[in-house]
A and B are shown apart, each in its own frame.
Chain A
Amino acid sequence: MIQLNALSYHIGPKSLLQNVFLSARPGEVLAIIGANGAGKSTLLKLLSGDLKPSAGEVIFEGKNLAQWPAAALARRRAVLTQQHTLALAFEVRELVLLGRYPHFGGQPTAHDHAVVAAALDLVGLRHLAGREYPTLSGGEQQRAQLARVLAQVWEAEKGFLLLDEPLTGLDLRHQHQTLAVARQLARRGFGVIAVLHDLNLAAQYADQVLLLHQGRAVASGPPAEVLTPDYIHLGFGVEVELLTHPSLGCPLIVPTVSMPF
């Protein structure tokens, strides 16, 4: 369980996040949505511990995030960031094995290698296990990194996965595949927090949605409560019409006006 209590973050006089409350539970997929510059990535960086809050606190499993020993935290919680630079030409399997580093001392065990293979299966990259990472396409690199963070928390109890825009650069099939993996993990008792841009994907896959607007959490709750025309207009400045997905029953969001430029 991750809880945010009155979390604020500012750089100098500029406030990036103000007084955000949130609880993300294991077994649920939480989508963070909002316009560019609303504070989504900042919020995720505070959740992951990259940034220290200016006020308020991040509580992970009843303990302040800053008080968690780094190694223990790494075995419970993995982070997929937006930047995927890799300085060296590791093979895909070597990259995914990096996710197992918090679990073994000197040499990886057979179990570690098995987890690497399973994580690669899950993202559909097993056939590229022996390829060098820089030779992959952008989408394949993204999925290889996802496999790495999956391998990191593979056997964690109530583990957490933080994903910052995990769908960037993925084709339609792999966008859905990635979110399906997130759902599967939630079913296994993981908590997943993902920054998403596509509201329809959020509607289809998330249990909870948090809408950020100018550094404030303006709405949070199940998709049907947050993804309303009023909130979407507030958050994005776009008029939308809400339909019901004919087969899935979740909200389907369609912009109604063409934007004047």
Chain B
Amino acid sequence: MPAIAEKAPATLTPAAPRTRERRGRALLVVLAVLLVVAVLVGTGAGALHVPIASVLGVLLHKLGLTSGWAFEPQQEAVVWAIRLPRVVLAVLVGAALGLAGAAMQGLFRNPLADPSLLGISAGASLAAVAVIVLEERVLKLVSALPGSAGASAYVLPLAAFAGACATTLFVYRVSRRGGRVLVSTMLLVGIATNGLAGAITGLFTYAATDAQLRSITFWGLGSLGGASWPTIATLLPFLVLPLLWLPRLGKSLNMLALGEEQAAHLGLPVARIKWQVIGLTTLAVGASVAMVGTIGFLGFLVPHVLRLLVGPDHRFILPASALGGALVLLLADTLARTAVAPAELPIGILTALLGAPVFLWIVMKKATKIA
């Protein structure tokens, strides 16, 4: 057995090369490059095809730069007013969902965890469906408020966001015992709350008219069709904090993988970290769901695939899940609006349709590896 060095071990040599770390860095670069390419391709794709060179020309022109890439005024109008807001929305929402999924799996120390466990989606759905069914009465109430001109368009997303926050807060409070939140309890409370919210949503659905049922169904399927610069301006303030802050919690989530007590022995303020992860996730997912409806499987699948590539280190998994989520949702949305043009597939259907088989394939592959 080698002796412990008497002095600080400045001369010790590191063990074998750290392959995972290098792969993690490489993955972040590859994902970032792919995302840029996907943004350019996605902005160009559609009924009016715009070549990538023209897309670049428009973007640089909008930034106040002149470039050699020529474009026509019609192309500029389509790219700037229609395509780009939608691409940006897909990137923002995809990044938020991917990041939130990775953070939840880290917090619950369970690869099956998902923001829906906190009741975020169920709460948002309940509030949205309630607004749709009680539409007239709600809108009458809103229009009675002073200075509410044009506010009715925001009633549904605001209600959905409030519903998401209220449910999460409920789950969080009920799971608290003697000042401590046990994530295992939270998991059970979350499942029960999901069931309860689902049942109440069912009651509203039961009372809905045919037209309302159609609205409910489409809201549930999710769509990025409402994208515009004002939509993004509304969404962005809610997403800035989670998108910048959650990726910084990688070290904390790595320590939590040891268990809460052991993480505390490493100096981690466990209670504060839990509160941060839950708060930021609710903000990100609540705002996203409110704006585009429920988009399944993304937050669950993306971190899974990435962990297969570079291992579970959250210092890489969190930023990579943001980039990966953005990339996947952007590609899915581009497909959704071009595959059956001029009609459009609901994005929620597409992500589940593509996501579920990929996930099954991973599970099967893993099973054979273990066997």
> What is A's interface to B at a CB cutoff of 8 Å?
48-50, 70-75, 78-79, 81, 83, 85-91, 93-94, 98-99, 101-102, 110-111, 113-118, 120-122, 124, 126, 129-130, 152, 154-155, 177, 180-181, 184-185, 188
Chain B residues positioned under 8 Å from A75 (CB to CB): 267
Contact B259 A117 (CB under 8 A): no
Known: A50-B264, A129-B16. Is A122-B311 also a contact (CB below 8 A)? no
Chain A residues positioned under 8 Å from B4 (CB to CB): 118, 122, 181, 184-185, 188
Known: A90-B313, A129-B16. Is A114-B267 also a contact (CB below 8 A)? no
Q: In the complex, given contacts A88-B109, A114-B13, what are 17 additional A-B residue pairs having Cβ atoms less than 8 angstroms apart?
A: A74-B266, A78-B265, A79-B262, A79-B265, A85-B258, A90-B313, A98-B266, A102-B267, A111-B8, A113-B15, A114-B12, A117-B13, A117-B14, A126-B15, A130-B16, A155-B8, A188-B4
Chain B residues positioned under 8 Å from A124 (CB to CB): 1
Segment touching A, from B50-58, B187-195, B249-257: B249-257
CB nearest neighbor in A for B18: A93
B9, B259, B268: the one within 8 Å of A85 (CB): B259
A-B contact pairs, 22 of them (CB 8 A): A49-B264, A70-B269, A71-B267, A74-B266, A78-B265, A85-B258, A85-B259, A86-B258, A87-B109, A87-B257, A88-B307, A89-B312, A90-B312, A94-B20, A94-B311, A101-B267, A102-B267, A115-B9, A117-B13, A118-B9, A126-B15, A177-B1
Contact B313 A115 (CB under 8 A): no
Known: A88-B257, A91-B311. Is A116-B14 also a contact (CB below 8 A)? yes
**Max chain A CB contacts within 10 Å: which of B15, B18, B19, B312?**
B15
Confirm or deny: B367 has a beta carbon within 8 angstroms of a beta carbon on chain A: no
Chain A residues positioned under 8 Å from B258 (CB to CB): 85-86, 98
Q: Mark B1-27, 1 if CB is under 8 A from A, else 0.
A: 111111011111111101110000000
Chain A residues positioned under 8 Å from B19 (CB to CB): 130
Complex-state Cα separation, A72 to B109, whole angstroms: 26
Contact B262 A87 (CB under 8 A): no
Complex-state Cα separation, A13 to B63, whole angstroms: 72
Contact B5 A118 (CB under 8 A): yes
Interchain nearest-CB distance for B256 vs A (Å): 8
A90, A99, A113, A115: the one within 8 Å of B311 (CB): A90
A70, A120, A122, A181: the one within 8 Å of B264 (CB): A70
Contact B2 A122 (CB under 8 A): yes
Contact A101 B266 (CB under 8 A): yes
A81, A122, A188: the one within 8 Å of B6 (CB): A188
A87, A129, A180: the one within 8 Å of B1 (CB): A180
The 6 closest A-B pairs by CB, nearest first: A74-B267, A87-B109, A88-B312, A114-B12, A113-B14, A129-B15
Chain A residues positioned under 8 Å from B109 (CB to CB): 87-88
CB nearest neighbor in A for B11: A114
A91, A110, A177: the one within 8 Å of B14 (CB): A110
CB nearest neighbor in B for A111: B10
Chain B residues positioned under 8 Å from A74 (CB to CB): 265-267
Complex-state Cα separation, A79 to B311, whole angstroms: 26
Interchain nearest-CB distance for A147 vs B (Å): 11
Contact B261 A81 (CB under 8 A): yes
Complex-state Cα separation, A243 to B159, whole angstroms: 78
Complex-state Cα separation, A27 to B18, whole angstroms: 35
Confirm or deny: B368 has a beta carbon within 8 angstroms of a beta carbon on chain A: no
Confirm or deny: B74 has a beta carbon within 8 angstroms of a beta carbon on chain A: no
B5, B16, B255, B259: the one within 8 Å of A101 (CB): B255
Chain A residues positioned under 8 Å from B254 (CB to CB): 90, 94, 98, 101
Confirm or deny: B110 has a beta carbon within 8 angstroms of a beta carbon on chain A: yes
Q: Mark B236-274, 1 if CB is under 8 A from A, else 0.
A: 000000000000000100110111011011111100000
B10, B251, B264: the one within 8 Å of A114 (CB): B10
Interchain nearest-CB distance for A126 vs B (Å): 6
B8, B13, B20: the one within 8 Å of A91 (CB): B20
Chain B residues positioned under 8 Å from A81 (CB to CB): 259, 261-262, 265
CB nearest neighbor in B for A155: B8
Complex-state Cα separation, A70 to B267, whole angstroms: 5
Known: A86-B257, A102-B266, A129-B16. Is A154-B9 also a contact (CB below 8 A)? yes
Chain A residues positioned under 8 Å from B3 (CB to CB): 184
Complex-state Cα separation, A248 to B138, whole angstroms: 86
CB nearest neighbor in B for A149: B265
Chain B residues positioned under 8 Å from A78 (CB to CB): 265
Chain B residues positioned under 8 Å from A90 (CB to CB): 254, 257, 311-313
**Max chain A CB contacts within 10 Å: which of B1, B20, B267?**
B267
Chain B residues positioned under 8 Å from A111 (CB to CB): 8-10
Complex-state Cα separation, A177 to B15, whole angstroms: 21
CB nearest neighbor in B for A114: B12
Contact B267 A122 (CB under 8 A): no
Interchain nearest-CB distance for A42 vs B (Å): 14
Chain A residues positioned under 8 Å from B264 (CB to CB): 49-50, 70
Complex-state Cα separation, A126 to B258, whole angstroms: 21
CB nearest neighbor in A for B10: A111
Complex-state Cα separation, A13 to B2, whole angstroms: 50
